[in-house]
Amino acid sequence: GNSVTQMEGPVTLSEEAFLTINCTYTATGYPSLFWYVQYPGEGLQLLLKATKADDKGSNKGFEATYRKETTSFHLEKGSVQVSDSAVYFCAQEEGTSYGKLTFGQGTILTVHP
């Protein structure tokens, strides 16, 4: 079946460091791709999304580009803050799946001052 693979965590960075969290997907066709963030004790929040190849999603300094040729949607941020500490989930949704999201396993990010 279709799946999403994220880089293993946890990831620990110092404040202002550069962040990359890798994500690859296996869906056929042209799925929509998402990054969700889960802060401690809270539900998931949509961070950014891209719906077609070469689209770049961006929000709060985070970016991810939909790469069809490498089936990837890596999350990047140029300068992380302590407040970015959370769990990040990559997800895909196939066009025929009526909104069903398939998530990666999640990557725990901890940012130290």
Partner 1 sequence: DSGVTQTPKHLITATGQRVTLRCSPRSGDLSVYWYQQSLDQGLQFLIQYYNGEERAKGNILERFSAQQFPDLHSELNLSSLELGDSALYFCASSLRPSSGGLDYEQYFGPGTRLTVT
User: Cβ contacts of residue 84 below 8 Å, gap of 6+?
Assistant: 19, 77, 109, 111
Question: Does residue number 104 form part of the binding site for partner 1 (CB under 8 A)?
Answer: yes
By CB under 8 A, the count of residues binding partner 1 is 24
Choice between 61 and 95, CB closer to partner 1: 95
Class of residue 53 by CB neighbours under 10 A (exposed 0-12, middle 13-18, buried 19+): exposed
By CB under 8 A, which span of 14-22, 55-63, 72-80, 87-95 interacts with partner 1? Answer: 87-95
Q: Which of residues 31-50 bind partner 1 (CB under 8 A)?
A: 32, 34, 36, 41-46, 49
